[in-house]
């Protein structure tokens, strides 16, 4: 039987599953653009290479953070925070790229907005959920 201290809080469970799923989808989508055929790159339109590379590599960090949150490891809270910060920095860099006249797709702006919100929420929920743990 588990004690109350050993139970995983529902918010921690939800964010860990979301992080892992988001990470796996990110790896798949980014990998398709980076390593797929010409049709995949054409379908991506005016993708921004540094954003695709960041997202692809970050996908592995998403999975690691999700696994760590599932296991209730404190390092995973830090990783979630760093992912959120790095995503905001990359999104800011995308904004500078766009302002400088770089070609992009509107869906990239929408996707990066979503990524920022998701990872900020995951980091905040992780801090709250795992802070209660002894």
Give the pLDDT confidence of 54-97 residue by residue, as tens digits: 999 999 999 999 999 999 999 999 999 999 999 999 999 999 99
Determine the Cα–Cα distance for residues 51 and 8; give it in Å rounded to an integer.
Answer: 34
DSSP 16-80: HHHHHHHHHHHHHHHHHHHHS-HHHHHHH-S--HHHHHHHHHHHHHHHHHHHHHHTT-HHHHHHH
Residue listed under structure tokens 């006249």: 101
At 130, is the pLDDT very low, low, confident or very high (cuts 50, 70, 90)? confident
* Domain ranges for the chain: 10-131
Four-point Cα dihedral 31, 33, 36, 42, nearest 10:
170
> What percent of the chain is predicted at pLDDT more than 90?
86
Global confidence as pTM:
0.88
Reference 118, options 15, 47, 31, 29; nearest CA is 15
Which pLDDT value is given to residue 131? 73
Which pLDDT value is given to residue 133? 58
User: In this structure, how many other beta carbons lie within 10 angstroms of the beta carbon of residue 90?
Assistant: 20
């Amino acid at each position: 039987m588990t004690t109350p201290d050993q139970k995983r809080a529902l918010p921690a469970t939800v964010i860990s599953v979301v992080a892992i799923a988001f990470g796996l989808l990110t790896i798949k989508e980014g990998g398709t653009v980076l390593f797929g055929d010409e049709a995949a790159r054409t379908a991506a339109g005016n993708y921004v290479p540094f954003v695709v590379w960041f997202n692809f590599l970050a996908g592995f960090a998403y999975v690691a953070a999700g696994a760590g949150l599932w296991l209730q490891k404190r390092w995973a809270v830090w990783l979630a925070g760093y992912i959120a910060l790095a995503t905001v920095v990359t999104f800011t860099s995308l904004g500078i790229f766009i302002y400088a006249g770089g070609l992009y797709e509107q869906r990239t702006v929408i996707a990066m907005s979503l990524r920022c919100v998701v990872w900020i929420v995951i980091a905040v929920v992780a801090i709250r959920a795992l802070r209660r743990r002894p």
